[in-house]
């Protein structure tokens, strides 16, 4: 698939995923139950405090790997909330994103010896 075709198949841009409000609220409440500041929680999870802020307000959805870390720290005793978070996560996003194979952009490859 050429780069223009790849971009066209995605509408020319990446789709933004957001969390449902009940899931976002469960993250906020989970942090408060743990008596953690947003910076402390973000450090334990391994993300920036700004990103955690967006998650708690439902403005972003985490990748699956980040969702697992968030659930481990903020929802250790809430398995249903953790399941809802994982279900709402964005597969293949963020830390889980893998670039397309080099051969999907043949116009970028040069014949050997070309400059």
Q: What is the pLDDT of residues 6-59, one digit of tens each?
A: 555 555 455 678 999 999 999 999 999 999 999 999 999 999 999 999 999 999
Q: What is the distance, to the nearest Å, from the Cα of residue 107 to the centroid of all Cα atoms in its chain?
A: 30
Q: In 3D, which of 51, 61, 48, 52 has the Cα closest to residue 21?
A: 61
Does the pTM exceed 0.85?
Answer: no
Task: Write the class of the CATH domain 21-92.
Answer: mainly alpha
- Contact between 67 and 47 under an 8 Å Cβ cutoff? The reply is no
- Contact between 63 and 56 under an 8 Å Cβ cutoff? The reply is no
Q: Cα(first)–Cα(last) distance of the chain, in Å?
A: 24
Question: Tokens 């942090």 correspond to what residue?
Answer: 31
- Contact between 115 and 108 under an 8 Å Cβ cutoff? The reply is no
Q: Over pLDDT 90: what percentage of the chain?
A: 63
SS percent in the chain: helix, strand, coil, step 5: 55, 0, 45
């Amino acid at each position: 698939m050429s780069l223009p075709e790849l971009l066209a198949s995605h509408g020319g841009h990446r789709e933004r995923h957001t969390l449902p409000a009940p899931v976002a609220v469960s993250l906020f409440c989970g942090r408060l139950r743990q008596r953690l500041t947003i910076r402390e929680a973000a450090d334990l999870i391994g993300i920036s405090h700004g990103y955690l802020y967006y998650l708690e307000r439902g403005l972003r959805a985490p990748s699956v790997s980040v969702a697992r870390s968030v659930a481990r720290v903020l929802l250790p005793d809430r398995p249903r909330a953790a399941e809802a978070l994982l279900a709402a996560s964005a597969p293949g996003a963020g830390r889980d994103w893998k670039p397309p194979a080099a051969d999907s952009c043949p116009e970028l490859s040069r014949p050997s010896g070309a400059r």
